[in-house]
Chains A and B, each alone.
Chain A
Amino acid sequence: MAPIAQTQGGRANVLSFVYAHPIFRRAIGPLVVLVLWHCASTYGWVDARFVPAPLNVLNSLKEWMFGPVGASPYSGTWFTHAANSFYRVIGGFLIASVFGVVLGCIIGWSRLTSDLLDPIIQIIRPIPITAWVPFAVIFFGIRDGSAFFLIALGAFFPIVVNTAAGVAGTPKLLVRAARMLGIRKQNILPRVVLPSAMPYIFTGLRLGIGLAWVLVIVAEMMAVKSGLGFAMWDAYYFLRMDIIIGAMLSVGLLGFLSDLVIKAIGNHVLRWSRGL
């Protein structure tokens, strides 16, 4: 049987071309969703006041981003909100990374430190981050501090758990080899254990940045008065569902982009592990 790509005839060739290219193939799913969404809103399958059509959302998003200022309360405010959210995500994520990697190294380093510290982490970890909101507001107020705290706390756990697993999983033979080659004791961690744990650390960082974008919305809905999450909650009071969907798409896209950045850094740092 001939493969589809070799089928004769004009029509079949266009289809097979689309089919053969991963980029087109990957676009099919989202396009189908967009068309269904458009039909649902336009043909009254759902109430268009609650689920505005894609083009309306796009128009609202454009106005939200580029103005004109004053056309509506949201007009031209997108970049301020997005920058606020972005700032909190980066800040919280960096705090989580530092604490997560340092504590992960300590926990993974020895049986003793693991026995002392790991139970605390394992008990706190399952508590939903939303449960911390009251404490965040009491201690940090309705300000950036609350968002930093909630994001850092949430992103901390996947980073610390993965780092600890990577550090504990360092092959003993590599440590032996390094000692045989004359490494000084204090250099074993930075020169052998950390590089060996890098694949795990990057897994933790990617999970962490994903959680950071989830949590920035939670934090801004509940504990801060700016950012995309705040705009979303505010829009809900005025039933501006177009703004809510626009904010959702914005968060999705920003989260996707920040994951790409970490993935790219990871691919460079871990280029030795290709095909491992």
Chain B
Amino acid sequence: MSTTARKATSGSPRIVARGLRKEFVDISRQAQVVALSNIDLDIGEDEFLTILGPSGCGKSTLLNIIAGFEHATDGEVRLDGQTIRDPGPDRGVVFQEYALFPWLNVVQNIEFGLRERGVPKAERKVRVTRQISAVGLDGFEDRFPQELSGGMRQRVALARVLVNDPKILLMDEPFAALDAQTRTIMQTELLRVWSAERRTALFVTHNIEEAVLLGDRLVVMTARPGRIKEIVNVKLPRPRDVTSAEFNEIRRYVASLLESEVQTAFASMQAGKNAQS
């Protein structure tokens, strides 16, 4: 059921990370913190990879390095052989906090990237219209983000990056702020959109069920400093039944992997608190 193979299961890897290490200075504690250590990871073409780990394990840091928002202290990440240095539209990021532009309506938010990169108006219109239908936003074109629910906002955020046809979709706990029902709907929607036009996806979460439900492979990370503890292959066909025995077997296995890490993370958090007080 599980292997620790760090190579992608199929195809040539799209993302190649080697020897990643990230250190930063925690100002409040006056200490050097190692957020990530010794990360080697390949993400294959069209693969859906989920990253799971206790809070503070550096999973968002890893995503931010691939996105180009942060730079690794050591090691490097390549996308199709090119070293990643800055953010760009070939890596679409969906944030937990939506990060939509509140002064732009749905259409303007979605066409932001195309417009900034000088795509002609006619082509913009075609691509935006198609994307709006793809994520189920028909009839909401003129709304401002303020007027939308959390689930609708995240649809806009998804459409805003998909319209740029990115090589990889990076999602940082995108559904963590949504209520349980909306979350389930959005997971289904995401899989539908992803299946319709397959592309490489990296999905960070701290929710085991979500990770098992979505991913082809599931990267379990250790508590800080974040390392890769194990990579679990999830070979269940989609759509996956969260009540099935196979699903729950994987879920239990992943939970057992994660449990000691969560405790370590909690203990170090307590230690940090005591050190401060």
Could you list which residues of chain A lie within 8 angstroms of chain B, going by C-beta atoms?
Answer: 171, 173-174, 176-184, 187, 191-192, 195-196, 198, 270-276
The complex places the Cα of A221 from the Cα of B104 at a distance, in Å, of 46
Shortest CB-to-CB span from A177 to chain B, Å, is: 4
- A181 and B160 contacting across the interface, CB-CB below 8 Å: yes
Which residues of chain A are within 8 angstroms of B68 by Cβ–Cβ distance? Answer: 180
Which parts of B89-113 form the interface with A (CB within 8 Å)?
89, 91-93, 95, 97, 99-105, 112-113
- A179 and B99 contacting across the interface, CB-CB below 8 Å: no
Contact among B99, B146, B161 for A174, CB-based, below 8 A: B99
Contact among A176, A180, A184, A273 for B102, CB-based, below 8 A: A273
Query: How big is the B interface, by class?
Result: 20 to 34
- A182 and B93 contacting across the interface, CB-CB below 8 Å: no
Is chain B's binding surface mostly helix, strand, loop or mixed?
A: loop
22 contacts between A and B (CB under 8 A): A173-B95, A173-B99, A174-B99, A176-B93, A177-B99, A177-B100, A177-B101, A179-B86, A180-B68, A180-B91, A181-B112, A181-B113, A182-B88, A182-B117, A183-B116, A196-B102, A198-B103, A270-B103, A272-B103, A272-B105, A273-B103, A276-B102
Q: A174-B99, A198-B103, A272-B146 are in contact. Are A184 and B116 (CB under 8 A)?
A: yes
Which residues of chain A are within 8 angstroms of B161 by Cβ–Cβ distance? Answer: 180-181
- A180 and B67 contacting across the interface, CB-CB below 8 Å: yes
3 shortest interchain CB distances as A-B pairs: A181-B113, A182-B89, A177-B99
The complex places the Cα of A198 from the Cα of B93 at a distance, in Å, of 26
Which residues of chain B are within 8 angstroms of A181 by Cβ–Cβ distance? Answer: 89, 112-113, 116, 160-161, 164
Shortest CB-to-CB span from B56 to chain A, Å, is: 19
- B146 and A273 contacting across the interface, CB-CB below 8 Å: yes
- B116 and A272 contacting across the interface, CB-CB below 8 Å: no
The complex places the Cα of A76 from the Cα of B112 at a distance, in Å, of 56
Q: A180-B93, A272-B146 are in contact. Are A195 and B101 (CB under 8 A)?
A: yes
- A191 and B95 contacting across the interface, CB-CB below 8 Å: no
Q: A181-B113, A187-B116 are in contact. Are A275 and B97 (CB under 8 A)?
A: no
The complex places the Cα of A271 from the Cα of B146 at a distance, in Å, of 10
Which residues of chain B are within 8 angstroms of A276 by Cβ–Cβ distance? Answer: 102, 146
The complex places the Cα of A187 from the Cα of B95 at a distance, in Å, of 22
Which residues of chain B are within 8 angstroms of A174 by Cβ–Cβ distance? Answer: 99, 101
Closest B residue, CB atoms, query A195: B103
Contact among A171, A180, A273, A274 for B87, CB-based, below 8 A: A180
Which residues of chain B are within 8 angstroms of A192 by Cβ–Cβ distance? Answer: 101
- A176 and B87 contacting across the interface, CB-CB below 8 Å: yes
Q: Which of B101, B145, B160 has most chain A Cβ within 10 Å?
A: B101
Q: With an 8 A cutoff between CB atoms, is B194 at the interface? A: no
Extra contacts, 7 of them, besides A176-B93, A180-B87 (Cβ < 8 A), are: A171-B99, A178-B101, A178-B112, A181-B116, A181-B160, A273-B102, A273-B146
The complex places the Cα of A15 from the Cα of B199 at a distance, in Å, of 69
Shortest CB-to-CB span from A193 to chain B, Å, is: 11
The complex places the Cα of A195 from the Cα of B160 at a distance, in Å, of 19
The complex places the Cα of A183 from the Cα of B101 at a distance, in Å, of 13
Which residues of chain B are within 8 angstroms of A274 by Cβ–Cβ distance? Answer: 146
- B95 and A178 contacting across the interface, CB-CB below 8 Å: no
Which residues of chain A are within 8 angstroms of B103 by Cβ–Cβ distance? Answer: 195-196, 198, 270, 272-273
Closest A residue, CB atoms, query B108: A272
Q: With an 8 A cutoff between CB atoms, is B266 at the interface? A: no
Shortest CB-to-CB span from A212 to chain B, Å, is: 27
